[in-house]
Amino acid sequence: MVSLGLHILATAVSFSLHATARQSLQGVNFPDPSVTFDPHTSRWFAFATQGNDKNDQVATSADLYGERSLFTNLGLLPVPDSSHHCIGVATSPNITGPYTARNHPFACPLSEGGAIDASGFFDQQSRSRWVVYKVDGSSKGTGGHCGNGDPPGFDTPIMMQRVSSEDGITPLDVPVAILHRDADLDGPLVEAPSLIRHGVGRAAVYAVLLVPLLQLP
């Protein structure tokens, strides 16, 4: 498996496939978007985390860069009372909800800082399904960039979990760490993983904060 680090200084949400059409999503705060195509409606949907006084957000588009609409009727989750989070599962017959949450978490390593940034992957070759996520060790940090920049900092491993090919959410086997933070190369964290097929193999794409480039002269 190949790891491709995405070194970032700042990000701007763009609901676009074209470099020449870098339009924001109506100028609203729409962080950490995850985009999926719904074959039942023949539309694209993007789900985002907290913003605009909402804990869950969803937007839809027919072509990803033309007309875009924000939904306000997605079933919201309560505001967490802790800085440590778990990954849960909620299902719905309709992509816009309402969603029903399962009564147990998918991943919840609270002693290590919790878990965030889940992303699914279907491997066409083996017909298997996987989920990758970040163990949020940076939430236990004592300060510095992203709260985890003060040495030595906590590990933020990227985990990979095989799941049922039938439902895509039932864990099989045990999760394995596929990437660990290198403080010299990655800064305070690695996060937001995704799996893609790259040539004859698979690649893990992830985001890091390249701290040295943020230090102005």
**pLDDT at res. 96:** 83
What length does the chain have? 217
Q: Which residues, including other chains, have CB under 8 Å from residue 46's CB and lie 6 or more apart?
A: 15, 25, 30, 33, 34, 35, 36, 58, 59, 60, 61
What is the mean pLDDT of the segment spanning 131-140?
A: 95
- Residue 167's pLDDT is what? 94
What pLDDT does residue 74 have?
Answer: 55
Least confident piece of the model among 22-31, 50-59, 92-101, 144-153: 22-31
In the chain, where the domains are located:
2-214
What is the H or E stretch that residue 184 is in? helix 183-186
Q: Indicate whether 146 pLDDT > 70.
A: yes
Between CA 187 and CA 196, with CA 192 as vertex, the angle to 5 degrees is: 115
- pLDDT number for residue 24: 59
* The predicted structure's pLDDT at residue 80: 55
At 11, the amino acid letter reads T
* pLDDT tens sequence across 78-97: 555 667 899 999 898 988 88
181, 155 contact by CB (below 8 A) = yes
Quote the pLDDT of residue 105.
94
Dmax (CA) of the chain: 54
pLDDT band at 206 (very low <50, low <70, confident <90, very high): low
Q: How does residue 48 score in pLDDT terms, banded at 50, 70 and 90?
A: confident
Q: CA 134 to CA 190: how far, in whole Å?
A: 8
Structure tokens given for 128: 């298997």
d(CA 117, CA 69): 24
Q: What class is the 2-214 domain?
A: mainly beta
pLDDT given for residue 110 in this prediction? 94
Examine the pLDDT at 192 and tell me if it is beyond 80. Answer: yes
Looking at every residue in the chain, the average pLDDT score rounds to: 78
- Does the structure show a pLDDT above 80 at 44? yes
What count of other Cβ atoms lies within 10 Å of the Cβ of residue 133? 24
Q: pLDDT digit string (tens) for 159-187?
A: 999 999 999 999 999 999 999 998 888 88
Assign 137 a pLDDT band (cuts: 50, 70, 90). very high
